[in-house]
A and B are shown apart, each in its own frame.
Chain A
Amino acid sequence: QQPVQSPQAVILREGEDAVINCSSSKALYSVHWYRQKHGEAPVFLMILLKGGEQKGHDKISASFNEKKQQSSLYLTASQLSYSGTYFCGTSLWDSGSRLTFGEGTQLTVNP
């Protein structure tokens, strides 16, 4: 079942923060976050495995709440380069096979 992402779109000014959520009605094993710019390939950001760990690099971090089956992506002090569509991909087991992606969240960072 497809995860639900919210919000569908967000517009920021450079330096502002944003949170993107990814929710599932089923128990998840892992959540994968990608960013895709128009006409380009999705670019991997991070994986979170069940266990509620939080990951991050630079000013982008993410968490996975196993009780809520929800992952959140945190973008702090946003930069113009953060603009793009963010997708979460989820898996229900640890087979390393299919990911089911949400519909995406379009993030626009303006100067």
Chain B
Amino acid sequence: DTGVSQNPRHKITKRGQNVTFRCDPISEHNRLYWYRQTLGQGPEFLTYFQNEAQLEKSRLLSDRFSAERPKGSFSTLEIQRTEQGDSAMYLCASSLSTGGYTEAFFGQGTRLTVV
């Protein structure tokens, strides 16, 4: 399967714990996006990489959130000191572009539940 892969699919954690999610984009894609989706809402943009460079971060991304894409391939999203409000589906998407827009393909997401 050459689609966007996210791990784990589900994560239950206690409030205050740190969690890390991984996203493996489609192999040749140079752009990688993280979004968060809560029930009944559309995805909310969190951050975006072009190759290994993090080019944009949403104001939603507090200091507790950090994302990396060390070699321009897979990416990780870490949430420190989780809060109940962090419970959501975290979606990763990737696209191939040399400029402007092309279609972005989403992974199946990681569902985070903070108890």
Contacts and interface: CB of A to CB of B under 8 A. Distances in A.
Contacts of A34: 106
B109 A41 contact: yes
Interface in A19-45: 29-30, 32, 34, 40-44
Contacts of A44: 103-106
B56 A87 contact: no
Interface residues of A, number: 25
B100 A103 contact: no
Contacts of A91: 101
A49 B45 CA distance: 20
A34 B104 CA distance: 10
A29 B99 CA distance: 13
Given A40-B108, A42-B91, A101 B42 contact: yes
Given A41-B107, A41-B108, A41-B109, A100 B45 contact: yes
Interface of A: 2, 29-30, 32, 34, 40-44, 47, 49, 87, 89, 91, 94, 96-104
